[in-house]
């Protein structure tokens, strides 16, 4: 593409990073999506962003769809393109947003996997026998207790905790939004236990709540690996990934309270439609109970 077009894209990412304060994950994903669009434009001889029409964006998305890209990934690519063109519109650099009315192909929405209460108790009451396991238990208890995202858990600092008030503050959640969440008594106890060990055995220079044995912030990938290792060591056969704890938090809370708005606020969802997927999980659970319990619903033995 033309040098001016590349400069516009660079300025967009500057604005996305420092003014909009989008998450690192979003910036990386959008950058990858726009690089793919740039390659497509080069192949088609499109040198300027104003050259692209709706038909070009449709053709690009169709090509990505033929490459077996998921509907979710296509939706994110369209979101990246729309955001970029909205930026160009505000700058007066283009006249239209060619991605504005284009929708990605729909695919069946998968229900998130959750653990039942007994499985959660087995996971969290397996016992911690070392410094790192004490830390891990505090992480997993807080994860399930407050319904955090993996990125939010990793980014927590010591100053985000208010244990006397049993709350934790998420400073920058998805979309740059902050929220204050309650912490259950089991999680408070596990965190207090970790903080006592941390104060004695971990260097005090790091502000992160959860740190490695060297005193550096624990990243998302490391948290995933620690959960996998925890399950193996504790003899838990099922593969459990961190977001299953968040999904379980939402499902169990909704099942008990039936308060969709409250669960939406706790999860930090901007759209209640995102939260409604947990109502399907709740119905699925009720349907299973019905099938097992209702005398006229039980299947005949084969």
CB 99 within 8 A of CB 82: yes
Token duo for residue 126: 């397996």
How many other β-carbons are positioned within 10 Å of the β-carbon of residue 250? 22
CB 159 within 8 A of CB 267: no
The Cα 119–Cα 140 span in angstroms is 13
Q: Is 299 exposed, middle or buried (0-12, 13-18, 19+ CB in 10 A)?
A: exposed
Facing residues of 181 across strands?
168
As annotated, the active-site residues are 149, 174, 243, 246, 269, 278
CA angle 298, 300, 301 (to 5 degrees): 120
Calculate the CA 14 to chain-centre distance: 23
Q: How far is CA 128 from CA 133, 140, 185, 210, in A?
A: 5, 12, 17, 16
Q: Which of 233, 228, 202 is nearest to 217 (CA)?
A: 202
Calculate the CA 287 to chain-centre distance: 28
CB 183 within 8 A of CB 232: no
The Cα 64–Cα 188 span in angstroms is 47
- Alpha carbons within 13 A on the beta-carbon side of 254: 27
How many other β-carbons are positioned within 10 Å of the β-carbon of residue 112? 16
246 CB contacts (<8 Å, ≥6 apart)? 143, 144, 147, 148, 149, 150, 267
């Amino acid at each position: 593409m033309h040098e001016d077009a590349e400069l516009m894209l660079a300025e967009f990412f500057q604005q996305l990073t420092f003014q909009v304060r989008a998450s690192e994950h979003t910036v990386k994903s959008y950058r990858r999506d726009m690089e793919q669009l740039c390659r497509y434009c080069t192949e088609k001889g499109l040198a300027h962003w104003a050259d692209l029409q709706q038909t070009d964006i449709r053709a690009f998305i169709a090509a990505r769809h033929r490459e077996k890209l998921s509907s979710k990934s296509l939706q994110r690519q369209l979101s990246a393109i729309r955001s970029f063109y909205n930026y160009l519109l505000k700058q007066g650099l283009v006249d239209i947003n060619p991605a504005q009315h284009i929708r990605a192909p729909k695919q069946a929405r998968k229900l998130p996997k959750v653990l039942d209460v007994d499985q959660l108790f087995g996971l969290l009451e397996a016992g911690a026998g070392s410094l790192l396991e004490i830390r891990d238990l505090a992480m997993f208890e807080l994860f399930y207790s407050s319904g955090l995202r993996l990125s939010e858990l990793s980014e927590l600092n010591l100053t985000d905790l208010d244990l006397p008030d049993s709350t934790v503050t998420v400073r920058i959640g998805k979309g740059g939004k902050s929220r204050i969440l309650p912490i259950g008594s089991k999680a408070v106890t596990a965190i207090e236990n970790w903080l006592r060990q941390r104060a004695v055995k971990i260097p005090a220079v790091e502000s992160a709540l959860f740190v490695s044995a060297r005193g550096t912030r624990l990243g998302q990938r490391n948290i995933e690996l620690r959960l996998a290792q925890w399950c193996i060591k504790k003899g838990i056969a099922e593969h459990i990934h961190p977001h299953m704890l968040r999904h379980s938090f939402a499902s169990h809370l909704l099942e008990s309270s039936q308060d969709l708005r409250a669960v939406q606020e706790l999860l930090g969802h901007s759209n209640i439609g995102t939260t409604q997927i947990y109502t399907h999980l709740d119905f699925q659970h009720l349907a299973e109970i019905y099938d097992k319990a209702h005398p006229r619903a039980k299947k005949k033995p084969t």
